[in-house]
Structure 1
Amino acid sequence: MSEQKQEVENENSQDCENLQEENVCNEENEQDKLQKEFDELKDRYMRANAEFENIKKRMEKEKITAMLYANEGFAKDLLDVLDALEAALNVEAKDEISLKIKEGVQNTLDLFVKKLEKNGIKTIEELKDFDPNLHEAMFHVDSADHESGGIVQVLQKGYKINDRVIRPTKVSVAK
């Protein structure tokens, strides 16, 4: 009996060792699984956080741009008024009353231009050469005084709000 008892104990002992090894293996497998899951979740978190930061930066840029150019439509509408005031100055004054009116129009125009400049709206500087980013060619003319591609005449002033063209300068260009 004792041999059988010894065999049973040996078997039980081996079974225990096998169970312990199996448990250790299971624990290691479980730990590996958990580590992989942790690494995957950490990676997803890092990507989501980076995406959030990119969206945040993009929104900040869009906000700044929106603030800079918020008055663009309104400014475009005011350019017609500016053109009318400039046209009124080109009328020849014949008597003292019309000279006073012209002076008042000039003062109004000066004030109007200062207010536009205060809000970032400026006249596009006149250049000698045609620049398609700033000018709109209305027609081409033959000119001995100008090089080909040079601006012969400014037909209508152009304006920018900050660095964005809101109305290109309308010009005639030498052939």
Structure 2
Amino acid sequence: MPDYEKLPTMNGEHIRVVVETPRGAAAKFSYHPETGVFEFTRPLPIGNTYPYDWGFIPSTRGEDGDPLDGLVIHQAVSSPGIVINCDLLGALRVKQKDAEGSEFYNDRYIFSPHKQDSPDKPGLMDRVPDELRREIEQFFLSSVLGTSKKIKLKGWRDARRAAALLKKGMERFVRTQKPAR
């Protein structure tokens, strides 16, 4: 069984995102590496659905110890376990407080799928438009209603600054791996 968390982060110049919860789902799904399956985690508040594919960036670790989170902006619907090669558009900085009172950054990285059949030039969306930013912010604020999580949005980072944060997540992953014997 594959361990999606340990896939290489990069596929050439593109970043892999493993879909956990597909666009349109009214519940959150999570990958569990110990069993290799995607499991139902919890329903979203009534009326909420994931606006785009949601998942994680393999071979990364956030401040919470989990892989970094990624939202893939596209019109298609995928399924849990699909790996999408993406271009990084930016990141929404999110300060999170858990039930125990610990605070940490749990950023949301925003991607567009790499279009393999298009010439090597900027795509239709090489940044996150302001209206879409507001919609994404509202989704994340409403998605934690009814949970013990509390989040504060701390602004957006462009692709260059988001890439620097992602690199730190890749370095954190390497530090957490046990040496082979």
Question: Normalized against structure 2, the TM-score is what?
Answer: 0.20
Larger Rg computed on CA atoms: 1
Judging by fraction of residues, say which structure has more helix: 1
Question: Normalized against structure 1, the TM-score is what?
Answer: 0.20
Judging by fraction of residues, say which structure has more strand: 2
